[in-house]
Amino acid sequence: MLERSTQTNEPGRCATLLPVLARLPQPLALLEVGTSAGLCLMPDLYSYDYGRKAIRAPAMAAEPPVFRCSASETTPIPAAAPQVVWRAGLDLSPIDASNPSQVAWLETLVWPEQTARLANLRAAVKIAATVKPRVLKGDLRGSDLVRLCSEAPKDATLVVFHTAVLDYVSDPADREAFAEQVMRLSPYWVSNEFPRVFPRIATCAGKSRPPGRFLLSVNGSPVAWTDPHGASLEWIADEA
């Protein structure tokens, strides 16, 4: 604990990101900041169960996890996963999914008795160890993000996203500067954070704020309230 910091990499959050990613112009180039082991960079390789609709992962050597998410009736659940042709991530302390000791730290951070969540994490780690998503050491506030954005293929839609990351950037000015930079670098910025992280976005989400929920937004516009681990999704975006 003296040598490491909290670095939860919850792949279940892909269940709440999927309805947004599937609606963007395909194919996608995904760039995640605060990516840890890159488990959220592979939303197209997992299976999902939204109750009224299920999405199956493509056949792979490793058995994919199945993320169960309770979605509101107005949530635009896609018929299939998005098409991802490029994926990369930035992190101050990247995790190697093929390194047992580093993966053990991720497992340690799963809350006690959450056996299903731990099983899904292990399944996602096996896929990451095979796919090996590109994960680089870098700071979201520096030139690393600019350089990585420039490497994305021009014939794909670049999406810069993050989940439960900007809360660790303590200075609100730094968070706003990051948001402004991303909007210059990428046509789509997807944020999945506690509403306190970007108060101006939260103000646009209305006065009713479900306790303990993240606010999912696209390019600064509120889209949905989400469970921090991807277990539920309440769509609030106007169709227009």
pLDDT for 59: 84
Dist. CA 144–CA 90, nearest whole Å = 8
Q: Dihedrals φ, ψ of 105, to 5°?
A: -65, -40
Question: Which tokens go with 48?
Answer: 């999902």
Cβ(94)–Cβ(31) below 8 Å = no
Binned at pLDDT 50, 70 and 90, residue 183 comes out as very high
* pLDDT single digits (tens) 136-182: 999 988 899 999 999 999 999 999 999 999 999 999 999 999 999 99
pLDDT for 228: 95
* pLDDT single digits (tens) 195-217: 999 999 999 998 888 999 999 99
Binned at pLDDT 50, 70 and 90, residue 192 comes out as very high
pLDDT for 240: 38
Average pLDDT over residues 93-117: 93
Cβ(91)–Cβ(37) below 8 Å = no
* pLDDT single digits (tens) 113-133: 999 999 999 999 999 999 999
The answer for residues whose C-beta is within 8 angstroms of residue 172's C-beta and 6 or more apart is: none
Average pLDDT over residues 86-94: 95
pTM of the model: 0.95
* pLDDT single digits (tens) 38-55: 999 999 999 999 999 999
**Is the model's pLDDT at 190 over the cut of 50?**
yes
**Is the model's pLDDT at 239 over the cut of 80?**
no
Dist. CA 30–CA 7, nearest whole Å = 20
**Is the model's pLDDT at 112 over the cut of 60?**
yes
pLDDT for 110: 93
Q: What is the mean pLDDT of the chain?
A: 94
Domains of the chain (ranges; CATH) run 11-235 (3.40.50)
The answer for residues whose C-beta is within 8 angstroms of residue 157's C-beta and 6 or more apart is: 24, 25, 26, 27, 28, 29, 187, 188
Give the start-end residues of each E strand in the chain: 28-33, 47-49, 54-55, 66-68, 70-71, 84-91, 134-137, 157-163, 188-193, 214-218, 221-226, 232-235
Residue linked to tokens 């082991």: 37
